[in-house]
Amino acid sequence: MKRQVIETADGSKTLFIPDMNEQYHSVNGARTESEYVFLKQGYLHHPSESVVVFEVGFGTGLNALLTALKAEEQKRPTKFISIEKYPIEVSEIQNLDYGKQISEKADVLFKKLHDAAWNETTKISDYFTLHKIQADLKLLSFDNYEHFDVIYFDAFAPDKQPQLWEPEIFERIYSACNEGAIFVTYSAKGVIRRQLATTGFVMERLPGPPGKRQMLRGVKLL
């Protein structure tokens, strides 16, 4: 799959896939979108002192990096589990330079995240562990993992990757969540909101990041 490194509006970079006419992050700001959608509305919105995060789409590792930095800043023990069917190449990782753009500490963490072995749990820092799963989400069994507190649903858009936005996947994720778990995604499509609500999440539309009017957040209430 051919990918190109492009710069987004806030100066951070992302990957663009010409064949799909799709990018890994918003062209209106890769880091801005990640911080707003996944950190502010998901990770930071959950009240627990320690959390288990499940991410759909490890991709560039940007969400993991920003979460690791926040976990260290808040001294908040965080287990981060992320699935990716097609890991990006080493040369692409180097060209993204997310760590260097943020801080020296971020650069060290970014390298550790990508150096971590797939399908193993790796301690990245005192407050952050990472388990990257190289697999197809449709085939993943959640029985081998702790229940989740926060879901970062960061698959490609529903019209680009519809097989990952199906009710059956949402139902399995819901079953693998703890009470009070938060589900966040950049998508605000009505059909996605209705499917998640049917699954059991109590849904709300929130103002979106730059370039998007809205996003979705759901909570698992029992």
Q: What is the mean pLDDT, run by run of 10 residues, along the chain of 222 residues?
A: 90 91 92 97 97 97 98 98 94 88 93 96 98 96 94 95 95 97 97 97 97 97 84
- The answer for residues whose C-beta is within 8 angstroms of residue 48's C-beta and 6 or more apart is 149, 180
Q: What is the pLDDT of residue 19?
A: 87
Per residue in 63-119, pLDDT (tens digit) is 999 999 999 999 999 999 999 999 998 888 888 989 888 999 999 999 999 999 999
Question: Are 139 and 83 in contact, with CB atoms under 8 Å apart?
Answer: no
Q: What is the pLDDT of residue 94?
A: 85
Residue 172 host element (H or E)? helix 167-175
Looking up tokens 């849904």 gives: 203
Closest to 27 in 3D by CA, of 184, 157, 137: 157
Residue 63 host element (H or E)? helix 62-74
Helix 62-74 and helix 104-115, axial crossing angle in degrees, nearest 10: 120
Q: What is the pLDDT of residue 133?
A: 97
pTM listed for this prediction: 0.95
Query: Which long-range contacts does 98-101 make (Cβ < 8 Å, 24+ apart)?
Result: 98/12, 98/13, 98/31, 98/60, 98/61, 98/62, 98/65, 99/65, 101/11, 101/12, 101/31
Question: Are 1 and 86 in contact, with CB atoms under 8 Å apart?
Answer: yes
Q: What is the pLDDT of residue 101?
A: 87
Q: What is the pLDDT of residue 176?
A: 97
Q: What is the pLDDT of residue 99?
A: 87
- The CA-atom distances, in angstroms, between 2 and each of 110, 146, 155 are 23, 35, 18
Q: What are the backbone angles phi and psi of residue 100, rounded to the nearest 5°?
A: -60, -30
| Encoded tokens for 215 | 């996003």
| Encoded tokens for 123 | 């301690």
Q: What is the pLDDT of residue 144?
A: 87
